[in-house]
A = this chain, B = another copy of it.
Amino acid sequence: MRIYLKISRQLESDIRQYFRPGDYLPPEMQLAERFQVNRHTVRRAIDELVANGLVQRHQGKGNMVLRQPHLYRLHDGAHFTGNLLEQGSLPSCQVVGSRLMAVTGKLAVELNIEPEQKIVHIQTLRTTEGIPRCVINHYLSDPEWWPVLKHFRQGSLHEFLRKTLELELKRESTRLSARAPSNEECRLLQINKSVPVMRIKTRNQLKGSNQIAEFSVSSSRSDLIEYVVEH
């Protein structure tokens, strides 16, 4: 009994042997044909793989292999370690999206500005060795920076600000927490709900001023990243 578990195990074995991250599985109908079951049974089997973070569904395209299954118990060994102080100025970040937006309640509090005011939102993703590690949402209080910031594509945001707008940012506060990932974080970081994310919120002031220029929230994969504090 429990055909879907057998199929799930078979698919996992297939993935390990014949597939590489980024490959697509055969269509569900084809798998149903091969295993001589209904398509729903194949879907149930793939549900297991999705829940274990091996596969990602893409409507209209197919089911993509994410990574080799042995990778997701990686933490105990040698793993990527970030430095807490360099958060927000990571050099190897790619911009996922950027826009002008109206501030909502909590962001207004963090940035210490009035509601409804426009701010700049930039979302970046840090990927190393082809694996997404960390997604950062930057919120910048001054909409006049938008014409320049909209051209920011990659690298260190703080360095970009220094070079293009001659702005020096200074860390005002850092707060650390952990969470189950949001759906968006699951997608961007290629994880499932069972992998917690570490969340770091920072507030940065303009040097020589008390005004908060930037508020950032970074979420890192807890299975791949550990932060160190310098003493």
Contact = CB atoms under 8 A, between A and B. Distances in A.
Identical chains bound together, number: 2
Given A173-B228, A175-B227, A178-B196, 6 more contacts: A52-B180, A53-B180, A173-B231, A175-B229, A177-B225, A180-B194
A229 B196 CA distance: 21
Interface string A26-63: 00000000000000000000000001110000000000
Given A76-B106, A229-B229, A196 B171 contact: no
Contacts of A178: 178, 196-198, 222
Contact of A196 (B84, B176, B179): B179
Given A172-B231, A173-B231, A175-B227, A196 B196 contact: yes
How many chain A residues sit at the interface, stated as a range, is 20 to 34
A9 interface: no
A174 interface: yes
A158 interface: no
Interface of A: 51-53, 72, 75-76, 81, 84, 106, 171-180, 193-198, 222, 225-229, 231
A227 B174 CA distance: 8
B176 A227 contact: yes
A105 to B, nearest CB: 10
Contacts of A75: 177, 179
A176 B193 contact: no
B194 A176 contact: no
Contacts of A53: 180
A196 B229 CA distance: 21
A56 to B, nearest CB: 15
A110 to B, nearest CB: 11
Contact of A180 (B173, B196, B228): B196
A198 B176 contact: yes
Nearest to A202: B229
Contact of A177 (B51, B172, B177, B227): B227
A4 to B, nearest CB: 14
Contact of A228 (B51, B174, B194, B231): B174
